[in-house]
Amino acid sequence: MVKERAKIDLTKFCDKQNPCTRDPFSKGKWTYATDGRICIRVPRLTDIPENKKAPNCEQIFKKADENSPYEWVAVPEMTVETVICFDCKGSGKWRDIDDTNHPCEECDGEGKVQEIKAVKIPLGDLTIALSNVYLDLIRKELSNPQIGLIKEAEESHPSMPVKIRFDGGEGLLMPIKISGGVL
């Protein structure tokens, strides 16, 4: 008996603030969701249309595949703390020049945001730094996720994303760059 798998909520990987990547989109054999730092793709879903303004993610996946080998590891468990939003100082609003209030875009009007911390994952002699918020998202939203480490994602000069694989699709995640101890 084949176990029914819960459908992935691709909108969790989209960027609500960006009209080009606000919704998932289809291209070629795949349906994509991206916010510019993470990109997830699943075999093309017939109900998701193409978007001419969407970025060319296919090319980035192709490049990542040419840069193997990847070393596959489990996604580490981590905690994500919530902190006061720096942009609105916790009010959830920003005041326009005409004195009208708008919901803060940084925190969606919540006044709080998830605190970003680097999770350092060793790859031989190297260290790869990934965002705790994205690793938590991957663990929560994807089934059996693994991270594919590559030396080009090394923390001081990350030039390539790490890969993600999960039941029913794959993805890419840009590392956090750490220089002088500052994120």
Count of helix runs (H) and strand runs (E) in the chain = 2, 13
CB of 11 to Zn ion, least distance (A): 21
Query: Pick from 10, 104, 129, 137: which binds Zn ion (CB under 5 A)?
Result: 104
Q: CA distances (Å), 47 to each of 24, 26, 125, 149, 170, in order?
A: 10, 9, 45, 33, 19
141 in contact with Zn ion (CB under 5 A): no
Residues 55, 20 contacting (CB under 8 angstroms): yes
How far out from the chain centre does Cα 45 lie?
20
CB of 107 to Zn ion, least distance (A): 3
Q: Which stretch binds Zn ion (CB under 5 A): 48-56, 67-75, 104-112, 127-135?
A: 104-112
Query: Pick from 39, 42, 57, 107: which binds Zn ion (CB under 5 A)?
Result: 107
Q: Which backbone phi and psi does 53 adopt, to 5 degrees?
A: -85, -10
Report residue 125 as tokens: 């002699």
Q: Which stretch binds Zn ion (CB under 5 A): 5-13, 57-65, 102-110, 126-134?
A: 102-110
106 in contact with Zn ion (CB under 5 A): yes
160 in contact with Zn ion (CB under 5 A): no
108 in contact with Zn ion (CB under 5 A): no
Report residue 124 as tokens: 């031989």
Nearer to Zn ion, 71 or 106 (CB): 106
Q: Which amino acid is at 102?
A: H
Q: Which residues bind Zn ion (CB under 5 A)?
A: 85, 87-88, 104, 106-107
